Amino acid sequence: MAHLGAPGTGETPVVGSSSTNIADEESLRTLHSKSTVYQGRIWDVVSDTFSLTPGSTPLTRDYIEHPGAVAVVVLNEQNQVLLLRQYRHPVQMNLWEVPAGLLDIDGEDFVVGAARELAEEADLVAAQWHVLTDFFNSPGSSSEAIRIYLARGISFVPEDQRHVRTEEEAEIEFAWVDLEEAAAAVLGGHVHNPSAVVGILAAAQAARSDFASLRPGNAPWPEHPSNRQR
């Protein structure tokens, strides 16, 4: 890994081996107060006052308190990924995405939530589930944690059991795209949805080892908001 010199020191970055474990870790600070600034229909804005170190001047930060979400990269036997085009009003664009949704059902297992979203948005079920990656969507302004799954061994939900999509979801269009072609679209700046960007690139990387390094679908997820209540 790279050893980088301190900013402004003129020290040249050195590339070499290191025993440093590159892994994000929990860092709980002293929380003095927590309040809800705005209560929304889907998520709230909260305000925390905390200290970085004992005795330091307290800081206040407002952020979106989010229940977390899941996304699904679906691959068929031809190594094609399923993409959904959906209108997103805040950016006023039709975006190519992967099936995804909120974990807003109390007590629902994460992979069960992913399977629910896959059925609702794409009329599909999957026999094989693995974890591709986990990430925070916007950690400077939201507590949202997203887990992206790889789903394979797919089949259709029977027509009489399919979810009726309404509002923006009623406009969803589908496309099966070669995984490498989808990754090239991401790197070319043509795909902007964060779950699609992260999921497609993660799947393209994992495919190089035939997905052998992936975690099982039921792998622990300690970073999910329900596991981080203070």
Residues 93 and 199 in one domain: yes
User: Domain check: are 140 and 201 in the same one?
Assistant: yes
53 and 124 part of one domain: no
Give me the pLDDT at residue 1, please: 46
Kindly name the residue from 121, 169, 173, 181 that is annotated as catalytic: 169
User: pTM higher than 0.95, yes or no?
Assistant: no
Active site residue 159: no
Helices (H), 45-143: 110-122
- Let me know whether 77 and 58 are in one domain: no
The per-residue pLDDT for 58 is 96
The alpha carbon of residue 193 and the mean position of all alpha carbons in its chain are separated, in whole angstroms, by: 10
CATH of the domain at 80: 3.90.79.10
Residue 192 lies in a domain: yes
Among 48, 65, 82, which residue terminates a domain?
65
Q: What is the pLDDT of residue 12?
A: 53
Q: Examine the domain organization and report whether 113 and 75 are in the same domain.
A: yes
Do 107 and 203 lie in one domain? The reply is: yes
pLDDT digits (tens, 9 = 90+) for 53-95: 999 999 999 999 999 999 999 999 999 999 999 999 999 999 9
Domain of residue 58 covers: 31-65
Same domain, 97 and 49: no
The predicted-structure confidence for 143-190, as pLDDT tens digits, reads as follows 999 999 999 999 999 988 888 888 988 899 999 999 999 999 999 999
